[in-house]
């Protein structure tokens, strides 16, 4: 890979982040996360409560952030610098992105970079390249006769939470940007949603017209007690039961 270093300044730290020189996706994700601050929640009361909750819980046990669709690691770097001491479980199914994720997060401890995808059950999925640069890869259910497709492992949220390494941690943030695969992720048991203080998701009906890719998400969301806030491409679900227990019903 022909990599170009980008100098960043985040929360008082000077960092070097590497991108592929001619990748529209790489430069786009840097723009979104480090310049537009897509995942900054500090301007909302709910976001301030989230940070206070993280700081308080960190005195007892480590916070867990799951980053589904971690791409080249920009979101991981942002989370590691915004939520000190948190453990980040990053998930990326495209091998070249995953290798760059490894490079960009090599300085950080307390993280796992899982090569694969998130889904509602453990197994394998097909990786699809729709030609939308390096940040547009999608996964879909494997079918018989798909031997020419690239297959990647997938893991469910509950399997991560059940892992002995993470079971003692405080589920803090679940970030989801998986290019339409939210259709499978939210199909079935979604009790894991109530365990996280914040769920951040980009929905993709705009990209996949009339596919209903977000329908399972909305059905699952209304089963839980969230504040729903929207900014840019992302929906932020703040868990009222966790962050405002005296107000939750």
Q: What is the pLDDT of residues 188-223, one digit of tens each?
A: 999 999 999 999 999 988 777 888 889 999 999 999
pLDDT value of residue 148:
58
Q: What is the pLDDT of residues 31-90, one digit of tens each?
A: 999 999 999 999 999 999 999 999 999 999 999 999 999 999 999 999 999 998 999 999
CA 151 to chain centre: 20
- Whether residue 186 contacts residue 216, with contact meaning beta carbons closer than 8 Å, is answered with yes
Q: How confident is the model at residue 13 (pLDDT cuts 50, 70, 90)?
A: confident
> DSSP string covering 40-107, please?
--TTSHHHHHHHHHHHHHTTTS-EEEEEES-TTSHHHHHHHHHSTT-EEEEEE-SHHHHHHHHHHTTT
């Amino acid at each position: 890979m022909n990599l170009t270093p980008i100098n960043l300044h985040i929360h008082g730290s000077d960092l070097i982040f590497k991108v592929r020189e001619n990748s529209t996706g790489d430069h786009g994700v840097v723009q979104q996360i480090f310049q537009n601050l897509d995942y900054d929640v500090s301007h909302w009361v709910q976001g301030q409560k989230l940070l206070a909750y993280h700081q308080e819980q960190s005195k007892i046990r480590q916070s867990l952030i799951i980053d589904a669709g971690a791409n080249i690691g920009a979101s991981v770097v942002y989370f590691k610098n915004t939520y000190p001491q948190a453990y980040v479980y990053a998930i990326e199914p495209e091998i070249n992105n995953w290798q760059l994720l490894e490079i960009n997060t090599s300085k950080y401890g307390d993280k796992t970079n899982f090569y694969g995808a998130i889904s509602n059950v453990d197994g394998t999925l097909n990786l699809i390249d729709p030609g939308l640069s390096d940040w547009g890869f999608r996964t879909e259910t494997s079918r018989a006769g798909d031997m020419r497709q690239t297959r990647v492992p997938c893991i469910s949220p509950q399997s991560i939470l059940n892992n002995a390494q993470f079971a003692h941690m405080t589920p803090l943030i679940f970030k989801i940007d998986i290019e339409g695969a939210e259709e499978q992720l939210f199909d079935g048991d979604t009790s894991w949603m109530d365990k996280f203080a914040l769920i951040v998701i980009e929905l993709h009906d705009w990209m996949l017209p009339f596919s209903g890719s977000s329908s399972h998400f909305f059905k699952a969301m209304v089963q839980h007690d969230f504040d729903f806030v929207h900014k840019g491409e992302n929906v932020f679900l703040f868990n009222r039961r966790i962050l405002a227990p005296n107000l939750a019903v």
